[in-house]
Amino acid sequence: MHRVTVIGAGFGALTAIRKLRALDKQLQIDVIAPASEFVYLPGTIWIPTGLRQPEDLLIDLKGFFQRMRVNFHAARVTGLKDGGRTVKTDSGEITNDGLIIACGGRFIKKLPGIEHAITPCEGIPAALKIRDRLAQMKSGTIAFGFSGNPKEPTAMRGGPMFEFLFGIDRYLRKMGRRDDFKLVFFTPAEKPGQRLGPKAVGGLLSMMKKRGIETHLGSRMKGFTEGSVIMEKVTFDADLIIFMPGMTGSKWFADTDLARSQGGMLRADQYCRVEGQDKVYVAGDSGSFPGPDWLPKQAHMADLQADAAAANLLAELAGKVVSHTFKAELLCIIDSFDTGSIVFRTQKRNVVTPSSILFHWSKRFFEWSYLHKYR
């Protein structure tokens, strides 16, 4: 009987666990994560406007782990030894015959004054802060922005910021409060949303214009104060700042000999193998994978990579050739509180649909069906 360790309990990790168990009923699966719970991050865009409560998006995984016959270890990984065959954690060591790393990304919080911005990548607590501040504010300026990792352009997350922006705009309109607020969008990118495809950029900017959202584009970020956003070419006042910084890899990667990209992610090949390692795989936001320059850091990609990683690892353990690759595919619904637009991009196609109530409900339905597997 082989033993596989999975690090994380997010999108990539849970998909890897399902695939491992589906392919091998005997396998010993050890999972290491700080808590046996799953946070459905895409749904956190609806917390500030009250469409979701934390308990809708935080799933207790005890039942799922039992069904998958997984040994769960509540711990934080701190490093590796024996070429990845032993995982070091803050509460002991776990050995394996093969390893899948899916511990997500880390956000670069280096800008001076970043503590004055709410960073929604931090999940439910950050979304709750936005909700509470929005409820307290009678009027004022709300600034929404994102930036990237200059050393790795794909290590960024812009899509959700458009969703917070358009969602809150629409929500304020529905409440009859929009005239009391100024909404501002800022980013160092000249063309925000470019990775969603050329069609998306024009659409996003014209939507901002139509909704009376001020923009500050193409100027380097310098920092924040309690009441302002400072960019190289402009400084503007803001009462609430919502900002998604660029991403890098987990801190513990630095204490290992795992190959890392310029941006600090684990360097992997098309089979999700970490370069230069034996039976060490990576899936999701932790990895830097070969692919087009728009390859997204998305839950959908994490799922596709986890599927390939799990199948390849089991093939290797069985002495077979690894052959499973993943498609480079960007697929998301950019939601605006009660409507949404589908963005789809592959090497050959780029589709951006008009905004429709149908796609808002599709996003809600997708969330329900995705979470159903883990409840």
Ligand X SMILES: Cc1cc2nc3c(=O)[nH]c(=O)nc-3n(C[C@H](O)[C@H](O)[C@H](O)COP(=O)(O)OP(=O)(O)OC[C@H]3O[C@@H](n4cnc5c(N)ncnc54)[C@H](O)[C@@H]3O)c2cc1C
Min dist. Cβ of residue 341 to ligand X (A): 12
Closer to ligand X at the Cβ: 163 or 316? 163
Closer to ligand X at the Cβ: 42 or 246? 42
Residue 59 φ/ψ region, left for φ over 0, alpha for ψ in the -120 to 50 degree band, beta for the rest: beta
Tally of residues, the chain: 375
> Beta-carbon neighbour count of residue 196 at 10 Å?
24
Measure the CA–CA gap between 44 and 47, rounded to whole angstroms.
5
Closer to ligand X at the Cβ: 103 or 189? 103
Closer to ligand X at the Cβ: 179 or 328? 328
Closer to ligand X at the Cβ: 154 or 286? 286
Measure the CA–CA gap between 8 and 103, rounded to whole angstroms.
5
Match 């909404």 to its residue by tokens.
Answer: 183
Min dist. Cβ of residue 73 to ligand X (A): 9
Closer to ligand X at the Cβ: 209 or 251? 251
Min dist. Cβ of residue 11 to ligand X (A): 4
The binding site for ligand X (CB under 6 A) comprises 7-13, 32-34, 41-42, 44-45, 76-77, 102-104, 120-121, 157, 160, 250, 252, 284-286, 297-300, 302, 332
> Beta-carbon neighbour count of residue 14 at 10 Å?
27
**In the complex, residue closest to ligand X by CB:** 10
Residue 308 φ/ψ region, left for φ over 0, alpha for ψ in the -120 to 50 degree band, beta for the rest: alpha
Min dist. Cβ of residue 179 to ligand X (A): 27
Measure the CA–CA gap between 349 and 179, rounded to whole angstroms.
39
Min dist. Cβ of residue 69 to ligand X (A): 19
* CA dihedral sign, ordered 197, 164, 304, 359: negative
Closer to ligand X at the Cβ: 29 or 77? 77
Closer to ligand X at the Cβ: 119 or 312? 119
- For the chain, percent helix, then strand, then coil, each to nearest 5? 35, 30, 35
Min dist. Cβ of residue 164 to ligand X (A): 7
Which amino acid does the sequence have at 119? T
Min dist. Cβ of residue 358 to ligand X (A): 16
Min dist. Cβ of residue 295 to ligand X (A): 12
- Exposure b/e, 145-166, CB count within 10 A at least 16 = b: bbbbbeebbbbbbbbbbbbbbb
How is residue 218 written in tokens? 């193409």
- In the chain, the N- to C-terminal Cα span, in Å, equals 28
Greatest CA separation found in the chain? 65
Closest CA to 302 of 1, 108, 38, 22: 38
